[in-house]
Every structure is written in C-alpha cells, then in structure tokens.
C-alpha cells in the first residue's frame, strides 16, 4: 500500500497485535472492510480506545457515524458513557440505528440524522438553555473540507480540559505534500486541511498535536479558563 502515511511493514507489525473488542464488532469491521464502508483503521481504533480507557469519558460526541462502528467501540470500552453521533446520509443513518440496536447499545448511543453543524447548533441551545452537559470527548470523522466548521462548533460543546480528536488529518500524506496527490484531484481538500491544521495549532486556549497513527490524527485539549 503506497498510500500509507507510515511504513507499511511497521503498520503490519503493529496490527498483528490488534485485538477486536468482541465477536460482533469483529464481524462488523470485516463487513465494513469487505464492502469499502469507511470506518476507523485498526491502529486508530487501538490508539483511541486506549485514550478512552485511560480517561473514561462520560459524554462523547461523534461527527460522522457511518455504520456506527466507532461509536459502538467507544460505548463498549467506556461503560456508563453516553454517546451522541451524527450522520447526514439517511440510508447510512438507518443502517447505523439498526446495527446499534443489534449490538444492544441503543440505550447509550443516540444517532442523529442531519448535517453535523445543524445538529451541534441544536445541542448548543440545549446546553445553554436546557442545561444539557457538555462533552468530555469529541471525535470528528466526517467531510474533511468542513473540519474547521465542525471544530468551531465543537469548541462550544466541549468541557473545559476536554479533548477534540480529528481523524484523517494527514489524508494519505496529501496534507504533507502535493506529490501524494498523483492525479491532482484533491487540491481543495488539501488546502482546507492545511489551513485547518494551521488554525487549530495556533489557536489560543487549545493545545493541538498531530499524530501519525492510521490516516493521521489531531488531538486538541481545550482550556476554557
Ligand atoms: N466514525 C465512523 C466512520 C465515519 S465515515 C467509524 O469509524 O465507524 C464518515 C461519515 O460522515 C460518512 O458516513 C458520511 O456520510 C458522514 N458525513 C459526511 N459529512 C457529514 C456532515 N456534514 N454531517 C454529518 N455526517 C456527515
Ligand atoms: Mg476516518
């Protein structure tokens, strides 16, 4: 795989030690991989779940549900957590609701149908007016050219000292160099992602670091005081 952002042998070695959380999630991953449905990579899953085990967040928000795979992993390792996840594609949304039901996680994972920014704005209203708690952990994993919009709204929903993680920040290396855009198809996404990374790494009150796991992650800790 020439698209990996890390040495493929290193990745293969690390993933030899990957362990699925349970049989059902194992099947779900295999199904997604066989059908080219986007879900977090194995090494991304291992890394994020380790963060979550360490920190045991109680309230999690996810932008980009797809089949509900990552949300179900988060719910499985964070016992007692509640997860809100947003998906804008109706067909995919319905699949996610069904999958989460089959996994018996519907009580703790709530899937919203709609554009992430619209849904988050409604959540801000609920937070400010109706006293809904803010989130300990926000995972952004949706349309890459909108990360800045997602992040700006996420800032209003995250708790003090909470964390916002963005997936696919390195976009198969294309964020790093134009040479990875061999067919010259991703100019806008590349420009947007580079600007986004400059934006969140220089923002006051936010400490961001880039991690070359999977397709690249940004980890931002938000200090509100
Ligand atoms: N987090 C999932 C994968 C998400 S893939 C997992 O690892 O299991 C990204 C998803 O984001 C897609 O299903 C896509 O339909 C959805 N999406 C893209 N733009 C969006 C938007 N503006 N609002 C909500 N969902 C969006
Ligand atoms: Mg992703």
- Domain locations in the chain as residue ranges: 8-222
The one-digit pLDDT tens for each residue of the chain (225 residues) are: 446 687 889 889 999 999 999 999 999 999 999 999 999 999 999 999 999 999 999 999 999 999 999 999 999 999 999 999 999 999 999 999 999 999 999 999 999 999 999 999 999 999 988 888 999 999 999 999 999 999 999 999 999 999 999 999 999 889 998 888 888 888 899 999 999 999 999 999 999 999 999 999 999 999 998
Q: Which of 20, 36, 69, 87 has most ligand 1 atoms within 8 Å of its beta carbon, as the pocket-test mutant?
A: 87
Task: Determine which helix (DSSP H) or strand (DSSP E) holds 161, and give its type and residue range.
Answer: strand 158-166
Which CA distances in Å does 206 have to 46, 146, 156? 25, 19, 13
Residues with CB under 6 A from ligand 1: 38-40, 64, 66, 69-70, 86-89, 92, 115-116, 141-143, 146
**78 near 109, Cβ under 8 Å?**
no
The verdict on pTM exceeding 0.95 is yes
Pick one of 3.40.50.150, 3.40.640.10, 3.90.1150.10, 3.30.1600.10 as the CATH number of 8-222: 3.40.50.150
Mutate to test the pocket of ligand 1, among 142, 149, 213 (most ligand atoms within 8 A of CB): 142
Please say whether the dihedral angle defined by the alpha carbons of residues 138, 139, 140 and 142, taken in this order, is positive or negative.
negative
| For the CA of 92, the nearest atom of ligand 1 | 13
Alpha carbons 184 and 52: distance in angstroms, whole number: 37
**Of the candidates 150, 61, 167, the residue with the CA atom closest to the CA atom of residue 112:** 61
Strand (E) or helix (H) holding 219: strand 217-222
């Amino acid at each position: 795989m020439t698209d990996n952002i890390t040495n493929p042998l290193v990745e293969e070695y690390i993933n030899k030690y990957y362990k699925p959380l349970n049989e059902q999630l194992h099947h779900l991953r295999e199904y997604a991989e066989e059908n080219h449905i986007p879900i977090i990579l194995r090494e991304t899953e291992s890394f994020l779940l380790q963060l979550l085990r360490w920190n045991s967040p109680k309230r999690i928000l996810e932008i980009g549900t797809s089949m509900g795979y990552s949300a179900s992993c988060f719910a499985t390792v964070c016992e007692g957590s509640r997860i809100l996840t947003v998906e804008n594609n109706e067909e995919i949304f319905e699949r996610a609701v069904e999958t989460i039901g089959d996994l018996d996680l519907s009580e703790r994972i709530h899937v919203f149908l709609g554009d992430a920014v619209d849904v988050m704005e409604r959540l801000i209203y609920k937070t400010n007016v109706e006293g809904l708690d803010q989130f300990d952990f926000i995972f952004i994993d949706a349309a890459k050219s909108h990360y800045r919009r997602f992040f700006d709204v996420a800032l209003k929903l995250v708790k003090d000292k909470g964390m916002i993680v963005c997936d696919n920040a390195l976009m198969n290396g294309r964020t790093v160099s134009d040479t990875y855009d061999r067919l010259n198809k991703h100019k806008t996404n590349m420009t947007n992602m580079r600007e986004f990374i400059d934006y969140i790494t220089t923002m006051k009150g936010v400490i961001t670091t880039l991690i070359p796991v999977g397709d690249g992650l940004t980890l931002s800790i938000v200090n509100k005081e």
